[in-house]
Amino acid sequence: MNINLLALVSVLPLFGSFILVLVPRNSLNLLKLIALNFSSLPFIGSLLIWASYKKSLCQFQFVTKLLLLPALNLNLTLGIDGISLFFLLLTTLLIPICILLSWDSVKKDLKEYLLAFLLLEFFLILVFGILDLLLFYIFFESVLIPMFLIVGIWGSRERKILASFYFFLYTLFGSVIMLLAIVYIYYQVGTTDYEMLLTFSFSELEQKFLWFAFFLAFAGKVPMVPVHLWLPEAHVEAPTAGSVILAGVLLKLGTYGLIRYSLPLFPNASFFFTPFVYTIAVVGIIYTSFTAIRQSDFKRIIAYTSIAHMNLVILGIFSFNSIGLEGAIFQSLSHGFVASALFLVIGIVYDRYHTRIVKYYSGLASVMPIYISIFLFFTMANISFPGTSSFIGEFLILTGSFKCSTVVTFLGATGVILGGAYSLWLLNRIAFGNMKVQYCAKFLDLNKREFVCFLPLILGTLFLGILPNIVLSSIHNSVNCLIELIYF
């Protein structure tokens, strides 16, 4: 069972999408039930993988190999280690939440909408599980297709088409350059198998060019300044479920790519470009934090905070020590819970009142107490309050980066201070003050379905904040093996 469990988890969403195609489009409840079940089963499988995962080993586990083109030395190899395990868990958790969230809100082309999410889950699982560089690129880019459709078709305003093209073109530009780098690697090494590539040493000049080509692709996904402009646009126009998966998983593709490919394959170039990466990461943290403060749109505020938090993760990745790298992976997972929940918070009031402009909301604490309590909890998590997952992640990142540069750590830590400013100010404006009944006359607190959507995110944030070692112990050996590859 262990050998094929990862393969089974990866094909379940695809199998579910084939069944969806056969179901009549007017059978709405059946469509939703099939999509929910076939997106939830991979999460159960992921939990079984985690339960069976051997923490003491640093090599890839649950490996499955399928020969595709033996003449070209191209194989489909699946496997996970401690680095990819929790990205897999995060993906398989958030997709069923997105489908449950859209249970009543999506009426138009429901069948195609559910198909897009199941295909998105299929591609994301393969991105985190694939051990071949060329196939990683194929699935990395395939993620753009369903996400482009989700934003462009089921977005909320007139600019949704423009936003979907922003998202597609910004992220595609760097990826095309990465494809050229992968072709060069194939001609140099004769294979794109990840484990084979780890044994090959590129020259200093080759490493610099290849690292930069990969960095352009991954920086666009994080996103880093100046290729960050697509994210606020995409978030504002996307449906709530689209924003949840965009913030929760898609931004992690950039950080995962840097950890998995850029650091071990091009270690010397990674050291060489560290000052450059630190500079744009610090600029991104400070600039987007100040930009978030001056926004009037609910979603734009959270979108800019996501950029600031993901740029802080970059500091942890380029600290080149186990504390910083473990913190970067942990904070990526934490951000997946917290940012997804904050977009859920926005989506709930938008579904009721059809506006995201902050000035139209006030005094919700007295009429939506459960909603505001959850909003308060995730606001505290967003500013790294002790006892939440973000505190552990940011503490590890800052501790790791402090070993490399005290100045960079100090400047990066200003993002935490500014995070308190924009998060608490937003909460204050929404929760307290006089109710503006001229804009929002009928107030409805959370229903059971919405509360169920929040529950796993609340439990995950608390679980990681109080018992972080349950996750860190699974990451530890894989990160140590990665550091050996970088230094030796």
Q: Tens place of pLDDT for every residue, the chain, 488 residues?
A: 445 888 999 999 999 999 999 988 888 889 999 999 999 999 999 999 999 999 888 889 898 888 888 777 788 899 999 999 999 999 999 999 999 988 887 777 888 999 999 999 999 999 999 999 999 999 999 998 999 888 888 887 677 888 888 888 888 888 889 999 999 999 999 889 999 999 998 999 999 999 999 999 999 888 888 888 888 888 888 888 888 999 999 999 999 999 999 999 999 999 999 999 999 999 999 999 999 888 888 888 999 999 999 999 999 999 999 999 999 999 999 999 999 999 999 988 888 887 888 888 888 888 888 999 999 999 999 998 999 999 999 999 999 999 988 999 999 998 888 888 888 888 888 888 777 665 666 677 888 888 999 999 999 999 999 999 999 999 999 999 999 988 87
What are the residues whose beta carbons fall under 8 Å from the beta carbon of 158, sequence distance 6 or more?
none
Tokens 């060489």 correspond to 272
Q: What is the DSSP letter of 366?
A: G
Tokens 């973000």 correspond to 390
Tokens 């804009």 correspond to 439
What is the Cα 391 distance to its own chain's centre? 18
Question: What token pair was written down for 239?
Answer: 């449906």
Burial, 406: exposed, middle or buried (Cβ in 10 Å; 0-12, 13-18, 19+)?
exposed
What is the Cα 224 distance to its own chain's centre? 14
pLDDT at 2: 42
- Residue 94 CA to residue 436 CA, distance in Å, equals 33
Question: What token pair was written down for 456?
Answer: 């796993």
Q: Would strands 74-80 and 61-69 be described as parallel, antiparallel, or unpaired?
A: antiparallel
- Residue 364 CA to residue 428 CA, distance in Å, equals 10
Q: What is the DSSP secondary-structure string of 391-452?
A: HHHHHHHHHHHHTT-HHHHHHHHHHHHHHHHHHHHHHHHHHSS---TTT--------HHHHH
- Residue 467, H or E segment: none
CB contact at 8 A, 10 and 119: no
Question: What token pair was written down for 430?
Answer: 């929404």
pLDDT at 363: 82
Q: What is the DSSP letter of 238?
A: S
- Residue 364 CA to residue 132 CA, distance in Å, equals 50
Q: What is the DSSP letter of 117?
A: H
Burial, 252: exposed, middle or buried (Cβ in 10 Å; 0-12, 13-18, 19+)?
buried
pLDDT at 437: 61
Question: What token pair was written down for 91?
Answer: 């993906």
